[in-house]
Structure 1
Amino acid sequence: MQTTLQDRLVEAGVDLVRREGVEALSLREIARRAGVSHGAPRRYFPTHQSLLGAIARVGYRDLGARIAAVVEGVAEPRARVHALSRAYVAFAQAERGMFELMFRHDLLRGNQIGLRQDSLTLFDTLVRLVEQALAPGRPPRVTATVLWANLQGIAQLHLWGSLQLAAGVEDIDGLLASAVDGHLGPAA
């Protein structure tokens, strides 16, 4: 299968964000790493944001695949939500630059390439898992939203070093378990 120039630009951006972080994602540097002129990206991506969105889309797909892989072999619904939470935070730790890029509000708001839909697809996975594990009487979508906000906060605060400072722990499994259990309600 032949790689298109558009694919090469996205691949160069993905490699750059993984190696050097979100701050390194300039059009000029992405073009240089793809081996093209600095004007070439504009032929495929009308704005810098649209190229960044295409790069972030790869992150959503990678995170979705990781989550699918870890929950696939888990039978118990509550344990599936726990597995998702650990995979989510592990992704943030392993792919810090990509994680930061994926949740940039300007990219999600612009939505030129359907990035918002990729985000919602991932969120819908969480909603389905929460619905299967939720204590009776709790609304699944609201519970999933609050849990996701909690997971996002844990991941981001851990990346900044704030959790380690405040809680005095490096291992955040206990925090994740508390968040999941607190939102799902008592185990049946």
Structure 2
Amino acid sequence: MSELETGLRARLIDVGVALVATEGAQALTLREIARRAGVSHGAPRRYFPTHLELLSAIARRGFTDLATRAAEAVGEGVASPRERLTALAHAYLEFALTHRGMHELMFRHDLLESGHLGLRETSLPLFSQLVDLVGRARPDADARLVAGSLLANLHGIAQLWSWGSLQLATGADDVMPLLRTALDAHLGPEAE
């Protein structure tokens, strides 16, 4: 692929990332991305033969961003597995709440080609990190199941918080007490 082609491919992804940030996943049509990129409506097909491939490339950017944030959150300054899980969960919720459109797209594997463009290799390491930390915090449990349940809980908190449902139901004005409660539910109460 020439440098010009690589540049146009990257620009299509950049436009998609910007579009999902401002208008949500539902706005990600090939025609709209092409229009905003300043190319013909057929041009994206040259680099992304299917709409799913373009959506997957956009979602991969989100997973890369989330992985970077998670790595920063779980850096060397955090000692225990519980503290690392708390930092990782907080980074996840912060990303989900501040990048709602991208977060929605990233976890819509029914819309994405998980094996395409390394999406599987981009999304699974974060879950593997979660499994590892859960295994260290709860060696008595099936770490994959607890991690999956915790991820589902975090995803639900993010979604319900963004809709305003949890604030209404709980009276909470901060998501952190909900995060701590979710961790306690999956890991047991924090030792004092």
TM-score (norm 2): 0.90
Aligned to 1:133: 137
1:85 aligns to 2:89 (yes or no): yes
RMSD (Å) for aligned C-alpha atoms? 1.8
Aligned-residue offset at 1:9: 0.5
Q: Give 1:104 shift.
A: 1.1
User: Which consecutive residues of structure 2, in runs of 5 or more, have no partner in the other structure?
Assistant: none
Per-residue Cα deviation, 1:71-90 (whole angstroms, up to 9, x for no partner): 10312211110111111111
Moved segments of 4+, more than 4 Å:
none
Structure 2 distance, partners of 1:4, 1:115, is 20
Where does structure 1 lack aligned partners over 5 or more consecutive residues? none
1:1-188 mapped onto 2 (5 Å cutoff): 4-72=7-75, 73-108=77-112, 111-134=115-138, 136-187=139-190
Look up the SS of the partner of 1:4 in the other structure: helix
Q: Say whether the 8 Å CA contact 1:107–1:115 is kept in structure 2.
A: no
Aligned length: 187
Per-residue CA deviations over 1:93-117 (Å, capped at 9, x if unaligned) read 1101100111113234664333233
How far apart, in 2, do the equivalents of 1:170 and 1:27 lie? Answer: 39
Deviation digits for residues 3-31 of structure 1 (CA, Å, limit 9, x no counterpart)? 52111100110011112222221111211
